[in-house]
Amino acid sequence: MLRELLSPKTESKRVDGERPANFNVLVGKLSEVLVRAVDKPLGYAINWGRLWSLWPVHLETACCSLEFGAASGPRYDVERFGIIEAFGSLRQCDLMVVQGTVTRKMAPRVRMIYDQMPEPKYVIAMGACAITGGLYFDSYNVLPGIDGVIPVDVYVPGCPPRPETLIQGCILLQEKIKRTRFR
């Protein structure tokens, strides 16, 4: 984002012929220096902001939503880790917890919801069904995992996973965000 703003290409279009030729080169070098100086701390700050305010989409796909609800309850309380209970628009969300079985009817909708979320977005596959199909591996209407539908960041095994397991999955995702280079 920062690179695009400071890139010499956009600058040259506007000031063509009005300024000395080497001005663009100068701006380009200056922007590179700026990006190098600002990118790392700024990226760190933005990543830090992201990882402590993950907003999950309110999307249940099957029974694991029960344990997701319990994780938001007072005993487990995922808000301690910056995962906020999901009751809002998916256009403001950046985390999708696929809570269980994805059926043939639900899969296009899951993809549609994922496409509507703004970047950057992360996906947690919760439960055995979302990972491989789980107990329903031989059912005629169940997808063998959601890997073919959306990219997954963290897999949380269990049937259903205990709330502690889900919290550990969230912490793993935060580790991942922390180490990702800011885009």
Partner 1 sequence: MGIEMERGRGGEGGEERIPGFELEGRDEDGMDRGILTLSVGPQHPGSGHFRLIVKVDGDIIVEALPDPGYVHRGEEKMCEYRNYIQNIPHLERPMIADSCGILYPYVLAVEEICNIPVPERAKYIRVIMAEINRCIFELYWLGIYGIFLGHSTMFMWPMADRELLIDLAEMASGARVTHAYFVPGGVRNDLPDAFPEKARRHLLYFRNRLKEYKDIFYDNPLFQARTVGVGILRKEDAINLGATGPVLRASGVEHDIRKVEPYDVYDELDFDVITMKEGDSFARAYVPWLEMYESVDIALQALEKMPSGPVRTKLGPNPKGAVGEVFKRVEAARGELAYYLVSDGNPKPYRVKLSVPSFREIPVMAHLLRGAKLADMPSIYWSMNYWPVEADR
Structure tokens, 140: 């005629």
Going edge to edge, which strands form the sheet with 154-156? 95-99, 122-126, 154-156
CA 155 to CA 1: how far, in whole Å? 30
| Identity of the residue, 38 or 159, whose beta carbon is nearer to partner 1 in the bound complex | 159
> In this structure, what token pair is assigned to residue 42?
């700024």
Q: x/- contact string, 95-134, with partner 1 (CB under 8 A)?
A: ------x-x-xx--x---x---------------------
Amino acid identity, position 71: A
Q: Which of 11, 32, 39, 60 binds partner 1 (CB under 8 A)?
A: 60
CA dihedral 72, 103, 165, 157 (to 10 degrees): 180
Q: Which window, 4-12, 32-40, 47-55, 67-75, contacts partner 1 (CB under 8 A)? A: 67-75
| 70 lies in the binding site for partner 1 (CB under 8 A) | yes
Binding site residues, partner 1, CB under 8 A: 57-63, 65-67, 69-70, 72-75, 87-90, 101, 103, 105-106, 109, 113, 135-136, 138-142, 159-160, 162
